[in-house]
């Protein structure tokens, strides 16, 4: 009887550890580093900043369906003539988090405030569709990670807070409120 009891205790403990490990691995952030991979200009180069100059995150959408970081990089370099892709992070439709620049690089994403902004773009057109649950989960993880990585407070805005654009679309914008400071 005692032996049987011991056995079930061990099984119970192993079960708890497995659940805990599953929980922890789900909390961990996985970032795909494409800082040296995406198309960039051969002649132009983005400037840099001190990490202490960053005080906000601006969320965008790609306003396109079925495109990825590679497409935005090509568009920004070839059509807009920028030094490289405008966003620091891209969240693909399956939730994959792509980093396009180190945090100290000032890329173009929000006119007039690029130096203090980390631009995050979710792939999709959220005037027409909802962001995927995986994208929203990744956005939450990434914001939490950035707020942990940088000691200063980071506010979260949508691109439309800065001008006459519908970016990041109402279906994504409505999710941003939860990230404001209480």
State which residue, 122 or 146, has the beta carbon closest to Zn ion: 122
Rounded Cα distance between 127 and 31, Å, is 27
State which residue, 60 or 76, has the beta carbon closest to Zn ion: 60
Q: Cβ 60 to Zn ion, closest distance in Å?
A: 3
Q: How do strand 31-33 and strand 105-106 relate by DSSP bridges?
A: unpaired
State which residue, 43 or 164, has the beta carbon closest to Zn ion: 164
State which residue, 12 or 163, has the beta carbon closest to Zn ion: 163
Using left for φ > 0, alpha for ψ between -120 and 50, and beta otherwise, residue 120 falls in beta
Q: Cβ 165 to Zn ion, closest distance in Å?
A: 6
Q: How far are the Cα atoms of 24, 108, 166 from residue 159, in angstroms, in the given order? A: 32, 12, 8
State which residue, 132 or 165, has the beta carbon closest to Zn ion: 165
Rounded Cα distance between 156 and 180, Å, is 6
Q: Cβ 139 to Zn ion, closest distance in Å?
A: 14
Q: Cβ 8 to Zn ion, closest distance in Å?
A: 56
C-alpha closest to that of 158 among 82, 39, 58, 21: 58
Q: Cβ 63 to Zn ion, closest distance in Å?
A: 8
Question: Which positions lie near Zn ion, rule CB under 5 A?
Answer: 60, 159, 167
- Residue 81 is classified by DSSP as -
The continuous run of DSSP H or E covering 15 comes out as helix 2-27
């Amino acid at each position: 009887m005692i032996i049987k009891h011991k056995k079930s205790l061990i099984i119970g403990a192993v079960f708890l550890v497995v659940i805990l490990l599953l929980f922890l691995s789900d909390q961990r952030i996985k970032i795909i580093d494409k800082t040296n991979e995406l198309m960039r200009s051969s002649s132009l180069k983005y400037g840099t900043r001190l990490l202490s100059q960053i005080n906000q995150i601006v969320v965008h959408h790609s306003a396109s369906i079925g495109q990825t970081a590679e497409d935005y990089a090509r568009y920004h370099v070839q059509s807009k003539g920028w030094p490289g892709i405008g966003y620091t992070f891209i969240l693909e439709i399956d939730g994959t988090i792509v980093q396009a620049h180190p945090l100290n690089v000032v890329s173009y994403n929000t006119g007039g405030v690029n130096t203090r902004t980390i631009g995050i773009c979710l792939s999709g057109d959220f005037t027409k569709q909802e962001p995927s649950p995986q994208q929203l989960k990744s956005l939450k993880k990434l914001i939490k990670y950035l707020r942990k990585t940088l000691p200063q407070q980071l506010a979260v805005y949508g691109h439309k807070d800065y001008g006459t654009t519908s970016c990041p679309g109402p279906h994504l914008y409505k999710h941003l409120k939860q990230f404001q400071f209480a």
